[in-house]
Amino acid sequence: MASAKYKIKKNDTVMVVTGRDRGKTGKVMRVLPERGRVVIERLNIVKRHTKPGGSGAQRPGGIVEKEAPINISNVMIFCDRCNAPVRVGLKTADDGARSRICRRCGETIGND
């Protein structure tokens, strides 16, 4: 199965628009396009009960809190200029370079 192309990239600031963490913003740590999910720094925290690995000192067991992936449809890119979650458009320059733009204010998003 081919993975879809998304306008959200690593290191983008996004806002969660639905779900348990609605209204919170964070930085994208990873994008999982084959699953349609993103991992956001310090959001959607879950607890994992892990067994010790190796000789015990390498990876001790216990309850570990970590970020779980969240569906990419539940987040929107956060525009600093608008100070709100926005939709993203693509703009092609005369030289053929493409950049992402905010649909509200027209500001370029990120450094593509």
Q: Which domain holds residue 70?
A: 13-85
Within-domain flag for 54: yes
Give mean pLDDT in consecutive 10-residue pieces for the chain, a chain of 112 residues. Answer: 83 96 97 96 96 79 94 96 95 94 92 61
Within-domain flag for 3: no
Considering just the CA atoms, what is the radius of gyration of the chain in Å? Answer: 17
Contact 82, 15 (CB under 8 A): no
The tally of domains found in the chain comes to 1
Q: What is the pLDDT, as a whole number, of residue 61?
A: 87
Q: What is the pLDDT of residues 46-57, one digit of tens each?
A: 999 999 887 767
Contact 102, 88 (CB under 8 A): yes
Within-domain flag for 109: no
Looking up residue 46, the CATH number of its domain turns out to be: 2.30.30.30
Within-domain flag for 46: yes
Q: Read off the pTM.
A: 0.86
Q: Which residue has the tokens 């959200």?
A: 8
Q: What is the pLDDT, as a whole number, of residue 67?
A: 97
